[in-house]
Structure 1
């Protein structure tokens, strides 16, 4: 009798169904509670308003960066006086780097906003967003370093520098891209992964869905110790040293010229050197504005990870997006600074823009009077219809 009772209670369909339903309800409630907690934590990281502002700002930077870098690249390429210059070959390559970075920017923004909690697009864009961002940073740093060294050599040894042609510059550029691809892109393509919604940092804060895979943390820490000094710190310090040496050299040569001669040719050489220094100073200023915060963020995030620590979720997000905004701003300023530092490039750029957007530069249909008002030209005669003035 007791055996029949035990068998009935343990195998009853209604009992089994009840257990399954209770288990399912409990699991669902747990999931709903966890989701609500995640959403509250996510709102504590960034608000919807900040999300919209970030997309508007960085979207504008990305569009401007894409257009400005394409225009600068094309202007140099189609202008014989510009495309034979060794330095302009490096500027063209920098335009490519900034262009790639601008195209990649929406995926970096997505990782920090819409894809922060749940990554809904193909996982390859998680890897590309991070790896391309770091690759272009390394490419830019090495370009600036080589550009600075060549500028120093051209002023210190102008006759010897003449043997370096545009072909040699292109070879150097290709080497930089290939070398940095292996030293930065490949490494940073391997380690990221996409995690399910609700991933937490060691401190318990909500984490990005696209982040480092635990299996690669050891390799990352080793790369930070060995790779970062090679691809980031040493080149940046070298850029500062070379720029300081270039400024000192130009100052010394200018002082010596003033003592020895006052020839027109010497004045022209001094003017040319001053423009070279101005262009380099603008490029480096833009470079420091964008890359110092970016490198500081990378160092902080990875070093804390080494000690199984992390920044507060909101603090980490603010640090990340601020450094990225400054980096994108730097890339937008670069084409502007290239033109400010070279009168030939400015002329070529205006000529190019006048061809593709003539209405923006067609100022022949109006001229300014002494009072500063625009006077339209007569459509038939082409003469200005200046109003008569009476004087008492």
Structure 2
């Protein structure tokens, strides 16, 4: 972000901020469009899956719906984060309720997303390693697990943040830790508690799931490749050197789709949550005694938050890229308004043509 050492007077008082006017505008250019896109893209994905009988039967699509709800909430609160880092840096002009809501909802959805990705990887591993047991897995069981995830994340993420965060106290000691944080931030009296909480909660909800996902994901690919090699060897032993059967081709397509879907979801998750969780650990421990440290702190926080929002915007796109069924359903859903519009236009043209020219000619559908 440029002009970071310039004076940026947002509150009619002379104050040197760790960002410049262009930095605030540039962050808005990234965050606000992503917020709007994330809102509509995730909403469309939720509607497409829930209204489709084919898609709604899949346990993986049920988890995708829950992930979209989490990303939808994140998109809604994204403008609050931008306000906190820019125009509300010194004075949070909104009611304190929205400050608490941002921190609470942000951690809540982050924990939900992390646990969902881990669950997604575990069920995908089960579907590949034990297909018969996977077939017994009913949607009801997955819904129950998802509900537990939301409940646990609410208790461990939403409630503590709601209690510990708010408008910065006026008695915050000058030069103390967090003095130069934005106005909507951690209460000074809670700093030590929060530092202990971060080490425990982030390890539990971010780092352990990340390590597990990085172990499970390659394991799925290894299992699939070994099975393909075994099937090929059996065909050679049986003397069947012809091309694979239609059933085997379909199975390979499903396996490829499963690996691609898992890879893109995990990749998007890592893109957003590794930088974000690392930054939050740094922010609670690193001092900000100089302007250069404040600039680095603000810039790092803004970039990591943009990456987090970017990963959540990419998710609906990646869901459609990885699944041809979902892609077709999404195309069908997006075409509905256009078809209605065209059919109305066609009817109007037909009526006008027949009434004026007394001709059976019909309008042309686009």
What TM-score comes out, normalization by structure 2 length?
A: 0.84
8 A Cα contact 1:94 1:143, kept in partner:
yes
CA RMSD of aligned residues (A): 2.9
What does residue 239 of structure 1 align with?
A: 213
8 A Cα contact 1:192 1:211, kept in partner:
yes
Q: 1:81 offset after TM fit, Å?
A: 0.4
2-side partners of 1:203 and 1:382: how far apart? Answer: 71
Q: Does structure 1 residue 165 correspond to structure 2 residue 147? A: no
Q: Does structure 1 residue 312 correspond to structure 2 residue 293? A: yes
Q: Does structure 1 residue 82 correspond to structure 2 residue 82? A: no
In structure 1, list runs of 5 or more residues that go unmatched.
1-34, 366-378, 384-392
Q: Which residue, 191, 206, 226 being the options, matches 1:252?
A: 226
What does residue 175 of structure 1 align with?
A: 148
8 A Cα contact 1:69 1:98, kept in partner:
yes
2-side partners of 1:255 and 1:343: how far apart? Answer: 26
Q: 1:356 offset after TM fit, Å?
A: 2.7
What does residue 266 of structure 1 align with?
A: 248
Q: Does structure 1 residue 217 correspond to structure 2 residue 191? A: yes
Q: Which residue, 18, 22, 41 being the options, matches 2:16?
A: 41
Q: 1:325 offset after TM fit, Å?
A: 0.5
Q: 1:182 offset after TM fit, Å?
A: 0.8
Aligned pair in 2 of structure 1 residues 358, 57: CA closer, same or farther (>3 Å)?
farther
Q: 1:358 offset after TM fit, Å?
A: 3.7
- Decide which moves more: 221-230 or 346-355: 221-230
8 A Cα contact 1:354 1:360, kept in partner:
no
8 A Cα contact 1:131 1:184, kept in partner:
yes
Q: Which aligned pairs between 1:67-216 and structure 2 lie closer than 5 A?
A: 67-195=40-168, 201-202=175-176, 206-216=180-190
8 A Cα contact 1:198 1:207, kept in partner:
no
Aligned pair in 2 of structure 1 residues 104, 258: CA closer, same or farther (>3 Å)?
same
1:42-99 residue CA offsets vs partner (Å, 9 max, x unmatched) = 2xx1111221222222110000000000000000000000111111000000000000
8 A Cα contact 2:104 2:161, kept in partner:
yes
Q: Which residue, 335, 340, 365 being the options, matches 1:354?
A: 335
What does residue 238 of structure 2 align with?
A: none
Q: 1:245 offset after TM fit, Å?
A: 0.8
Q: Which residue, 285, 288, 298 being the options, matches 2:270?
A: 288
Q: 1:133 offset after TM fit, Å?
A: 1.1
Secondary structure of the corresponding residue to residue 164 of structure 1: coil
Q: 1:140 offset after TM fit, Å?
A: 0.4
Aligned pair in 2 of structure 1 residues 280, 311: CA closer, same or farther (>3 Å)?
farther
The structure that has the greater radius of gyration is 1
Aligned pair in 2 of structure 1 residues 170, 361: CA closer, same or farther (>3 Å)?
farther
1:156-175 residue CA offsets vs partner (Å, 9 max, x unmatched) = 11111111111111111100
1-side partners of 2:186 and 2:290: how far apart? Answer: 14
What does residue 29 of structure 1 align with?
A: none
Q: Which residue, 30, 35, 45 being the options, matches 1:62?
A: 35
2-side partners of 1:361 and 1:329: how far apart? Answer: 35
Q: Does structure 1 residue 321 correspond to structure 2 residue 302? A: yes
2-side partners of 1:134 and 1:127: how far apart? Answer: 11
Q: 1:327 offset after TM fit, Å?
A: 0.7
2-side partners of 1:119 and 1:80: how far apart? Answer: 46
1:174-232 residue CA offsets vs partner (Å, 9 max, x unmatched) = 00000111111111111112126896553797331112112111211221232221111
Aligned pair in 2 of structure 1 residues 94, 381: CA closer, same or farther (>3 Å)?
same
8 A Cα contact 1:84 1:165, kept in partner:
no
8 A Cα contact 2:104 2:159, kept in partner:
yes
Aligned pair in 2 of structure 1 residues 352, 37: CA closer, same or farther (>3 Å)?
closer
Q: 1:271 offset after TM fit, Å?
A: 1.4
What TM-score comes out, normalization by structure 1 length?
A: 0.78
1:32-51 residue CA offsets vs partner (Å, 9 max, x unmatched) = xxx99973412xx1111221
2-side partners of 1:361 and 1:71: how far apart? Answer: 22
Q: Which residue, 328, 331, 342 being the options, matches 2:323?
A: 342
